[in-house]
Amino acid sequence: MRIFISADMEGCTGVVCRAQVLRDSAEYRGALRLLHSDVNAAVEGAFRAGAAEVVVNDAHDSMMNLSPAELDPRASLISGAGKPLSMVEGIEGAAAALFVGYHARAGAPGAVLEHTYSSRCLYRLEINGREVGETAMNAGLAGHFGVPVALLTGDAALMREATADVPWAVTVAVKEGLGPGAADCLGMAAAAAAIREGTARALAGVRSWTAKEREARLVVFAPPVTFALELVTAGMAALAERCPGARRTAARRRKAGRPNRDPRRSRCGG
């Protein structure tokens, strides 16, 4: 059983403010320890549950945060930006996907470090008329390749979001937002234990699914697929309008038509 892990950072336990997720900040190194702890717990849980292979894709910002020296040596690591499938590069051929350290979509109430893909340019994303965050967006890419999302870890607001996006997934809340830049967090060891247990439970479920049940757990956006992006500035929308298939619908909004069948070849992504 090949298991794929997409690892973000904002949803890790103890990560509560923007300074912690920026590479040039004093707080970043401490947050890295928390990131490795959460990811390694998922890796360990996957192997305990019978995984033969675990692939981890570094999915935060520069996508060069996880270190092979600190990662469980049994897992392989996909690192670096510019990957064709971005946060889910390496998804193909996996039995299940685990989204670790994920966060709620931009504007979600009570969320910790909420945003959608890039807080610098994108405020709102809709797919087929429904507002989504990174969880649904990446679950849709995983579904395109026949891979269900089995586990989601992050804050309590993300768990609420998951009830609409991936209701079958095992969820592990490692913190609960208390206000901008504050959260009630599990300790590192407690979060790791919860993630290990959640991973084992998630993969036990994956093993028990029939082919029909597995297919029902794929996130698939019905064609023709449309993306509507609300950007931070009107200038960004003007630039985005140059993408083939895109049209401007408002000052800061553009809409993209159906992408190419293979997401790797799409020129108009989120």
Residue of 36, 103, 115, 144 marked active site: 115
Instruction: Report CA-CA distances (Å) from 156 to 5, 170, 192.
Output: 20, 13, 16
Alpha carbon distance 145, 22 (integer Å): 32
Name the phi and psi angles at 100, rounded to 5: -110, 135
Which of 79-94 are b and which e, b meaning 16 or more Cβ less than 10 Å from the residue's Cβ?
A: beeebebbbbbbbbeb
Residue 229: phi and psi, rounded to 5, are -115, 125
Q: Which residues 6+ apart lie within 8 Å of 199 measured at CB?
A: 41, 42, 44, 45, 46, 48, 49, 98, 151, 170
Q: Catalytic residue at 36? A: no
CA distance 254 to 228: 6
Q: Quick one: tokens of 173? A: 């809340």
Q: Which residues are within 8 A (CB) of 18 and not within 5 positions of it... i.e. 6 or more apart?
A: 113, 181
The residues assigned a catalytic role are 115
